Structure 1
Amino acid sequence: MVKDTWVGWKYRLYRVGIGRRAEVSLGACGNQQESGKIARSPLTSPTLLPADMEDGIFTPYPPKLSRKRSLAMHRCTAGVIFILSAIFFALPGIHAAPKDSEAQSIIVEVEGDPWEHKEYLESYHPMIEVVEVYEQLFGGLALRGRPEKLEVLNELEFVTSLHQVRTYEAAPDQMSAVMAEPGEEGVLPSSLNDTSYTGKGIKVGVVDTGIDYNHPDLAANYRGGYDLVDLDDDPMETVAGEGIPTVHGTHVAGIIAADGVMKGVAPDAEIYAYRALGPGGRGTSIQVIAAMEQAVKDGVDIMNLSLGNTVNGPDYPTSMAVNRASELGVAVVLANGNNGPGDWTVGSPATASGALGVGASSPERKQPFLYHFPSDTTIPLAAMHGSVPWQLERAAQVVRGDGEALTGKIALFQRGEVPFYEMAKHAEEAGAAGVIIYNHEDGPLNGSVDGGNDPITIPVASIAREAGLWLEEQLQQGPVRLETNYMDMEKAVAEFSSRGPVTVNWDIKPDVIAPGTEIISTVPDGYQQLQGTSMAAPHVTGALALLKEAHPDWSNEQLFGALMTTALPLEEDGKPSEKATIQGMGEIRPKEAVEAETIIHDPMISLGTMAGYRESATKVLKVENHGSKPKTYTFDIPRKQRGLTWEFPTTVEVAPGESAELPVKLVVNSQQLEEGVHQGWITLMEEEQRIHLPYLFVNQQAGQPKVMGFELEPRMFEDDMYEYHLYLTEKAVLAEVDLYDPDTLMYERNLLRVEEPETGQNEGKLTGEDLGPPGYYIAVITAYLENGEQESVELLLHLE
């Protein structure tokens, strides 16, 4: 078990080792945790991982840094997440070159017709096997050959990029699944389906870690797929012996279409699996794009991607591929991510405008908390993943967990190097009634005490750092006893669910929310309860299968519009209680969507940036009447706000089977408003039906992170050459990467200088000489904006 080591960067995790590589983390969107580890952003290398990797699972840490280095790391901008390649894992794209005798699989992007390039390679380089041709979402080839034969690819003008596709054995440290049964406490996907439809005849592609197609609840609906990791037609989940085993794709597939002991949302839908993420749930963006390509070729109706990264931009390659798939007629559903609760945390590909981004909701529940009667103090509890419910019937004394007299008491621990499971096991064996663990830094603490075949049998929960420090102070003054009480919690957006908006184009994301906590679904050898937006997205995918079965002639715009128009925002006193950038249009309601008579295409009103003194923007809403009678639509005029003037059409009548366009215009006096993001709701009424439509615009500037991603990696088969990628969310005149000594914080040298960088993705090459001497550095990435301001972020960089 790799022990937990804090490096001082809030919600950040570092890996150091192989290769001169630093990169923005790409990860999946679940919320399964491992003992003693937390990183509230899904972390992996090089690009993508599944949801069950959230919060640090399988993520080792480097040796402890000095206090000075830790303090330097703590200054990093909260909106940007960076990660270094790991010596602990041999991962696709960051491993040492294979022996000459070993064949290697790679994917190359090409310029021109990939089929012509296939013929060229087969004619002039027959020792290179062309495994697959990609032409739908990007032009490329999957190739296999020995490294010395593949080196020729660097000399071919039509090859624009090379991406390694290999699997390696990861570190043996992993989390054992805590198995559940469909009848146990938790949310069953079938509870969402309140319709008479089952998704019969609808083809659903699951781009993920593969699936256990032998699972008795999935076998009947499995129709095939492809493995983009091993480049074969066997998309089985990674099993022990091949690397870190995975369960994520099987869990996602079960939510969509399980049909056995457990039922999915659409139990008769056909499942096609595409293994884009390998051992430990890791893969590259090019594997994901290639998997999407194959799904399009196979003719799937709907595609589920419960994965993502932390780059908040609409033009990241995976987002562009999603939009292309949508243009080709595939309905694409994406998990919004688990980097909440902060703004700007939605990452690609959920930033894609042509797909449905999904956030996670949590149901009504009784939330336990601890109460200290003498001081009238309450301490909220967050159950650790794998813990039994907190149901202490009597008040109990709190003592420090490192003591010996724990019988019948609540053991208090601070998060540190000892894994959570080991803390809890020590307390359990000492007779403790329960365990509470407080964070060593501000913010929520999510973790796991899963023990596989040796589970913890006492409740284990986390508390805030402030609560833990308060308890420590009270213990210094004498004995402390706490009662367990409960509060009724209403349905809400899960705290971990990523928030929008999308930088650059200011789209509102998520589009909708769906159940994403305590979800029971299939995993290899049984069932498991997981949580995350990875679990919310397949609920929406299943709902789309129901909707498409009910209305096979509807377009994707109509399918999406029906789900969004009929979604119900979380409300208080009849008005939305959460911002749209947290919940989108609200929680989906499949039955209402199937029976929808009013459909609004793209109902969220994103109006972009207002930079002038008096500026206006218009969003035209297309409304369809699918009822049997004429419908009359009227806007509820919002309360007058200083600096805002709305212009709505008068009452509009739409005949049955017809549609109408409703222009919504907003005039802004920027001098009368604060700078930043402005959002709210307007209401469209049709008789008794009230449809809440969110709006968003930016006055002058938004205050979003300007630097969202930096990558540095060696170019394959090209000695002493490296490739960088830098993502900016606003126009800048200059971007620089400077290196500092991590111990003295003294300036060392400039690594990169990009003049007139593009808004969005910037890339280029560096030589080994450009990188300079190897070692550990603090890399400071600075964007100099056109308005004279500048923004910097930091990361720990290891050059070898």
Structure 2
Amino acid sequence: MSFLLSLLLLTSIHTPQESSYIIEVEENPHVFAEQIRTYHPQVEILAIYDTIFNGVAIKANQRNLEQINRRTDIKQTYPTQTYRTQKQAENINNSIPFLIPETLPYTGEGVKVGVIDTGIDFSHPDLQANYKGGYDLVDFDNDPMETIPEQGMPTLHGTHVAGVIAANGKMKGVAPEAELYAYRALGPGGSGTSVQVMAAIEQAVKDGMDIINLSLGNTINGPDWPTSVAVNRATEKGVAVVIANGNTGPDLWTVGSPATADRVISVGASTPALKRPFLYEDFQDKKIEIAPLQGSVDWQFTRDLEVTHDKKQAKEKMLVLERGEIPFGQLALEAEQQGAKAVLIANNQEGIFQGAVEAQVSIPVAAISKEDGEWLQNNAKYLEIKYEHIQDTITDFSSRGPVTVNWAIKPEIVAPGASIVSTVPNGYQALSGTSMAAPHIAGVLALLKEAHPDWTPEQLKAAILTTAKPFTEFVPTEQGAGKVNTKAAIATDTLVYQSFLEFGKIAKQNSQKTEKIIVENISDQTKQYSFSLPKQQQDVRFQLPKSFTLAPNEKKEVEVKVTIRTTQVEESIKQGYLYLNDIPLPYMFLTETDEIPKAMGLELAITPLDDSYQYQLYLVENAEKLTIDLYDAKTFAFVTTMDEINEPASGVIEGKVELNDQLKGEYIANIKIESESKETYDYQTLIWLE
């Protein structure tokens, strides 16, 4: 995640003499733990999970683990699913007044917010007063501090997220008097496993959190991945869950688990008022978009800079490099040593990318698209730094929906996620990402929960979606209900539940679909409701109910019908907004022509007992056949078929394979799906065998 809270697909596990494991069991985990204590007294029980899944965390050596694994009541240990912090910042003192422009009588006092992340630097002067405790699911202790250099690659992400929610010092968070709890599920470098994340969710639920923030995720676009199931169960236990939508936009279908869960609030990133730099070539009137890398200094030059692609000629110039295997920080340090004034890193595939410079460099570094990199090589000699004012747009990096299988609209809401300055260990730093947008919403929920302490997660979610305002230039799969309106959410007199009209995938030429919303009048006066008739279209015609009234505290189920003629629909995804009074109701349906991803997220993990590999991937629809082939990552030569499955069912595909001991290193895994209609689909990802 360059602190893009996205999923790392290359995983490897080393098993030392004694290690920690989380074992999922079939029955009562407390009984299982007691049996371990009785028959394996040398095994340490680290934790017991009985709320959102059944499991026991233990510390054991290989021999004891092998003995325990022979038991028939063990279900499995999930193959490693790596999550990372989504780091991609306006000063928190600017983004929050932009989000909440006037003083409110609520501060989040008494509301418990759990931050499931890399830990929190609870010694930070802006967080000390509000930090109340937590748990470390990496080291299994009560000290959920960020990773420090002595422990591995240091982290800062959780501290930044916590500051956005409830900093209360030099920086002020959205809810500056909320109680902060840290659950460290991501260790050195900001990575962890899905089981650690689920264990952190369970601990937060048990500790009585009102709100949980997860600024993390993976690339699995499916509603029933284990972490998506876990966060849904947390909401059923009365906890409101806020999740970053991901930083792999702007393409469709890029939202990943657990933001794909239907009961949570998934958050996309919008821009507060920003002054964004870009490069300009005057002679050919060429504008070049740049994405400054996190950790580099600001782009501030008073004169034009000469452009070069030659490292040896970089002194006093802007050096253009191509993205490759060398880390961005190393590229930047080498350029700085050559005397370069700035560095541009051209992408090696279509579009631009988000990244970070982990090394300490004193020159600005930014990403540009592959196309602009090629243009610079053939055209420009001097570039000027210019700035443009932007506000209330959806960032390019913000992941888009919809969700596969259930065709849900994601994200559900947006908040500032571009250039957000917040707390980090030993100071403050600017970061961008949906990781920064999500804690804004977690803070808003803390204000709502203080104002309405009896509200359920469902009511809290309905309040912010009912009162949101969509940006006119963006569609539901980019922004959901739109920009959060904190004051309106607190004061709302109406709650609309199930307000997203998700009509699904349309198979027939002429179809009629019905979705139901629930409207509740929570005021003490009778209210009238009416739909605004949308512009009639030949391909889509809505049949909307007539106006109706609701008495105080009355609730009504309302049907919205639509007739769809797919032969006249030009878009593969049709979406837009209906309005009930001024309440936005996003709608969406898909046609058969839409190019829906068929598989995603292959991950491997070495099983600790026999050095074989367990794997997981996600299959969107039933298929005739699924084949996983490995190719050499450098020569692209075929190496071996890893597995082959006939008639696999949709959902999570799990398997166990034994591979040749000589297969070490990086490979391209090609997942080939043959559909029941004999069509084929190929999906590739890099894996690492060790």
Trace 1:136-215 onto structure 2 (pairs within 5 A): 136-162=51-77, 187-189=94-96, 192-193=99-100, 194=102, 195-215=104-124
Match of residue 477 from structure 2: 581
Q: Equivalent residue of 1:499, what SS?
A: coil
- In 2, the alpha carbon distance for the partners of 1:665 and 1:107 equals 47
* Most deviating of 189-198 and 202-211: 189-198
- In 2, the alpha carbon distance for the partners of 1:381 and 1:798 equals 31
Residue 728 of structure 1, aligned match among 619, 641, 664: 619
Residue 466 of structure 2, aligned match among 562, 565, 579: 565
- In 2, the alpha carbon distance for the partners of 1:235 and 1:782 equals 42
Shift of 1:691: 2.3
- In 1, the alpha carbon distance for the partners of 2:198 and 2:413 equals 24
Match of residue 400 from structure 2: 499
Shift of 1:403: 4.4
Match of residue 443 from structure 2: 542
Match of residue 44 from structure 2: 129
Match of residue 713 from structure 1: 605
Change (3 A) 1:188 1:692: closer
Write the letter of the residue equivalent to 2:393.
A
Shift of 1:678: 1.8
Q: Equivalent residue of 2:440, what SS?
A: helix
Shift of 1:422: 5.6
- 2:642 and 2:657 in contact (8 A); partners too: no
Trace 1:351-362 onto structure 2 (pairs within 5 A): 351-362=260-271
Q: Equivalent residue of 1:650, what SS?
A: coil
Residue 783 of structure 1, aligned match among 649, 662, 673: 673
- String of CA shifts for 1:683-724, please: whole Å, max 9, x gaps: 222xxxx2222101122353111011223333222x254322
Write the letter of the residue equivalent to 1:534.
S
- In 1, the alpha carbon distance for the partners of 2:169 and 2:672 equals 54
Trace 1:467-478 onto structure 2 (pairs within 5 A): 467-474=372-379
Match of residue 331 from structure 1: 240
Change (3 A) 1:213 1:387: closer
- In 2, the alpha carbon distance for the partners of 1:785 and 1:316 equals 22
- Tell me, yes or no, if structure 1 residue 630 matches structure 2 residue 510: no
- In 2, the alpha carbon distance for the partners of 1:459 and 1:280 equals 23
- Tell me, yes or no, if structure 1 residue 393 matches structure 2 residue 302: yes
Shift of 1:251: 1.1
Change (3 A) 1:649 1:630: same
Match of residue 618 from structure 1: 514
- In 2, the alpha carbon distance for the partners of 1:316 and 1:794 equals 20
- In 2, the alpha carbon distance for the partners of 1:29 and 1:231 equals 25
- In 2, the alpha carbon distance for the partners of 1:788 and 1:703 equals 16
Change (3 A) 1:404 1:738: closer
- Tell me, yes or no, if structure 1 residue 764 matches structure 2 residue 655: yes
Q: Equivalent residue of 2:153, what SS?
A: coil
Q: TM-score, normalised by structure 2?
A: 0.92
Match of residue 427 from structure 2: 526
Write the letter of the residue equivalent to 2:624.
V
- In 2, the alpha carbon distance for the partners of 1:777 and 1:416 equals 17
Q: Equivalent residue of 1:343, what SS?
A: coil
Shift of 1:596: 0.9
- 2:625 and 2:673 in contact (8 A); partners too: yes
Match of residue 42 from structure 1: 6
Write the letter of the residue equivalent to 2:376.
L
Residue 500 of structure 2, aligned match among 583, 604, 609: 604
- In 1, the alpha carbon distance for the partners of 2:458 and 2:274 equals 35
- String of CA shifts for 1:50-76, please: whole Å, max 9, x gaps: xxxxxxxxxxxxxxxxxxxxxxxxxxx
Q: Equivalent residue of 2:68, what SS?
A: helix
Any stretches of 5+ residues in structure 1 without a counterpart?
1-27, 32-40, 45-82, 87-93, 168-176, 572-576
Q: Equivalent residue of 1:151, what SS?
A: helix
Match of residue 140 from structure 2: 231
Trace 1:269-418 onto structure 2 (pairs within 5 A): 269-400=178-309, 402-404=311-313, 406-407=315-316, 409-416=317-324
- Tell me, yes or no, if structure 1 residue 556 matches structure 2 residue 457: yes
Change (3 A) 1:767 1:519: same
- 2:311 and 2:338 in contact (8 A); partners too: no
- In 2, the alpha carbon distance for the partners of 1:371 and 1:740 equals 42
- Tell me, yes or no, if structure 1 residue 439 matches structure 2 residue 403: no
Match of residue 369 from structure 2: 464
- Tell me, yes or no, if structure 1 residue 639 matches structure 2 residue 552: no
- String of CA shifts for 1:117-176, please: whole Å, max 9, x gaps: 1222222222222222111000111112232112112210111113699x9xxxxxxxxx
Shift of 1:431: 6.3
- 1:189 and 1:520 in contact (8 A); partners too: no
- In 2, the alpha carbon distance for the partners of 1:373 and 1:316 equals 50
Residue 589 of structure 2, aligned match among 688, 697, 706: 697
Q: Equivalent residue of 1:319, what SS?
A: helix
- In 1, the alpha carbon distance for the partners of 2:48 and 2:463 equals 36
- In 2, the alpha carbon distance for the partners of 1:755 and 1:666 equals 38
Change (3 A) 1:485 1:118: closer
Write the letter of the residue equivalent to 2:605.
E
Q: TM-score, normalised by structure 1?
A: 0.80
- 1:609 and 1:701 in contact (8 A); partners too: no
Q: Equivalent residue of 1:569, what SS?
A: coil
- 1:364 and 1:491 in contact (8 A); partners too: yes
Write the letter of the residue equivalent to 2:55.
G
Any stretches of 5+ residues in structure 2 without a counterpart?
none
Cα RMSD (Å) of the superposition? 2.9
- In 2, the alpha carbon distance for the partners of 1:448 and 1:123 equals 49
- 1:30 and 1:535 in contact (8 A); partners too: no
Q: Equivalent residue of 1:241, what SS?
A: helix
- In 2, the alpha carbon distance for the partners of 1:790 and 1:164 equals 27
Match of residue 737 from structure 1: 628
Instruction: Count residues with an aligned counterpart.
Output: 685
Match of residue 266 from structure 1: 175
- 1:107 and 1:286 in contact (8 A); partners too: yes
- In 1, the alpha carbon distance for the partners of 2:669 and 2:507 equals 33
- String of CA shifts for 1:467-501, please: whole Å, max 9, x gaps: 332232236xxxx3444433333421111111100
* Most deviating of 230-239 and 787-796: 787-796
- String of CA shifts for 1:98-127, please: whole Å, max 9, x gaps: 23xxx3221110001112212222222222
- 1:107 and 1:164 in contact (8 A); partners too: no
Shift of 1:630: 2.1
Residue 23 of structure 2, aligned match among 83, 93, 108: 108
Shift of 1:743: 6.3
Q: Equivalent residue of 1:679, what SS?
A: strand
Q: Equivalent residue of 1:709, what SS?
A: strand
- Tell me, yes or no, if structure 1 residue 256 matches structure 2 residue 165: yes
* Most deviating of 649-658 and 542-551: 649-658
Match of residue 574 from structure 1: none
Percent of aligned pairs with the same amino acid: 47
Shift of 1:740: 4.2
- In 1, the alpha carbon distance for the partners of 2:279 and 2:462 equals 44
Shift of 1:274: 0.9
Q: Equivalent residue of 1:660, what SS?
A: strand
Match of residue 16 from structure 2: 98
- 1:605 and 1:619 in contact (8 A); partners too: yes
Q: Equivalent residue of 2:154, what SS?
A: coil
- In 1, the alpha carbon distance for the partners of 2:318 and 2:688 equals 42
* Most deviating of 618-627 and 536-545: 618-627
Shift of 1:310: 0.3
- In 1, the alpha carbon distance for the partners of 2:326 and 2:643 equals 39
- 2:79 and 2:615 in contact (8 A); partners too: no
- String of CA shifts for 1:730-760, please: whole Å, max 9, x gaps: 1212211133455665555432121221211
Shift of 1:272: 1.4
Shift of 1:295: 0.8
Write the letter of the residue equivalent to 1:781.
I
